[in-house]
Chains A and B, each alone.
Chain A
Amino acid sequence: MRPFELTAPATVDAALATPGTFLAGGTTLVDLMKLNVLTPQHVLDINELPLRGIDTSAGLRVGALERMADIAAHPGVYPAISRALLLSASQQLRNMASIGGNLLQRTRCTYFRDVAMPCNKREPGSGCPAVNGANRMHAIFGASEHCVATHASDVAVALVALDAEIRLVSEDGERVVALRDFYRQPGDTPDVENDLRPGELITEVHVPRKDWAAHSTYVKVRDRQSYEFALCSAAVALDVQDGRIVDARVAAGGVATVPWRLPAVEESLRGKPVGLASFEEAASKAVDTAELLAGNAFKASLLKRTIVRALLELTEGGLR
Chain B
Amino acid sequence: MTSRVDAPLKVTGQARYGADHNFPGMAYGYLVLSTIARGRIVAMDVTAAKSAPGVLGVYSPFDPLELHAVSTPMLGETWVPLQDDQVAYYGQAIGFVVAETFEQARDAAMLVEVSYQALPAATSMADGMATAEDAPPSRDGSPSSLEILAPGVESIDEAFAASPVVVEATYSTAPQNHAAMEPHSAVAVWGDGGVTVYSGNQGAMLQVMELAAALGVGPERVHAVNPFVGGAFGGKGRTSAPAFLAAAAARALGRPVKAALAREQVFTATAGRAATVQKLTLGADHQGTLIAMRHDSWCSTAMDRSFVEPTSHGTSREYYATQNLALSQKIVPLNLPPTTFMRAPGEAPGSFALESAIDELAVALNMDPIELRLRNNATAPVGKDLQWSSKHLDECFHVGAARFGWAQRTPQGRTDGDWLVGMGVASALFPALRFPASVEITLRADDTAVVSTGGSDPGTGLLTVLSLVGGESLDIAADRVTPRLGDSAYPPGGMSAGSTATASASTAVMIAATQVIDDLLGLASAPDAPFHGVEVSYEGGRVLGGGRSLSFGELLRALDRESLSATGSSAPGDEYTKHSFSSFGAQFCEVRVHRWTREARVSRMLGVFDAGRIINEKTARSQIAGGMIWGVSAALHEALEFEAGGRPANADLAGYLVPVNADIPDIDVHFLRYPDTLHNAVGAKGIGEIGTVGMAAAVANAVYNATGIRVRHIPITIEDLLID
- Point out residues on A near B: beta carbons under 8 Å: 1-3, 36, 108, 110, 113, 115-117, 129, 133-134, 219, 221-229, 231-232, 298, 301-302, 305-306, 308-309, 312, 320
Contacts and interface: CB of A to CB of B under 8 A. Distances in A.
Given A1-B107, A228-B657, A309-B594, A223 B717 contact: yes
Interface in B400-450: 417-419
Contacts of A219: 597
B17 to A, nearest CB: 21
A228 B636 CA distance: 14
Contacts of B649: 110, 133-134
Nearest to B91: A116
B30 to A, nearest CB: 11
Q: Is chain A's interface secondary structure helix, strand, loop, or mixed overall? A: loop
A309 B660 contact: no
B103 interface: yes
B601 interface: yes
A320 B592 CA distance: 12
B153 interface: no
Contacts of B718: 221, 223, 231, 298, 302
A108 B656 CA distance: 13
Contacts of A1: 103, 106-107
B110 A223 contact: no
A224 B660 contact: yes
A304 to B, nearest CB: 8
A157 B643 CA distance: 30
Nearest to B644: A133
A134 B643 contact: yes
Contacts of A306: 596-597
Interface in B98-128: 103, 106-107, 110
Contact of B655 (A110, A227, A231): A110
A221 B660 contact: no
Contact of B663 (A3, A129, A224, A298): A224
B719 interface: yes
A167 B717 CA distance: 40
B599 interface: yes
A306 B722 CA distance: 12
Contact of A309 (B110, B596, B655): B596
Contacts of A308: 596
Contact of B722 (A115, A133, A226, A298): A298
A301 B597 CA distance: 9
Interface centre among B597, B663, B719, B722 (most CB of A within 10 A): B597
Contact of B662 (A116, A117, A226, A231): A226
A302 B722 CA distance: 8
Interface residues of B, number: 36
Contacts, number: 83
B724 interface: yes
B659 interface: yes
Interface of B: 35, 53, 103, 106-107, 110, 417-419, 594, 596-599, 601, 636-637, 641, 643, 647, 649-650, 652, 654-655, 657, 659-663, 717-719, 722, 724
Given A116-B35, A306-B597, A223 B637 contact: yes
B724 A301 contact: yes
A222 B663 CA distance: 11
Contacts of A117: 647
Nearest to B103: A1
A320 B416 CA distance: 10
A23 B650 CA distance: 27
User: 8 smallest A-B Cβ distances: which pairs?
Assistant: A134-B649, A298-B719, A225-B662, A226-B662, A309-B596, A116-B35, A305-B596, A221-B597
A223 B657 contact: yes
A224 B635 CA distance: 12
B654 A108 contact: yes
A224 B643 contact: no
A105 to B, nearest CB: 13
A162 B437 CA distance: 67
Contacts of B417: 320
Contacts of A3: 53, 107
A154 to B, nearest CB: 15
Given A224-B657, A229-B654, 16 more contacts: A1-B103, A2-B107, A3-B53, A115-B110, A134-B643, A221-B718, A222-B599, A224-B637, A225-B660, A226-B660, A226-B661, A228-B654, A302-B719, A302-B722, A309-B418, A320-B419
A305 B598 contact: yes
B286 to A, nearest CB: 39
Given A2-B107, A305-B597, A134 B660 contact: no
A207 B418 CA distance: 32
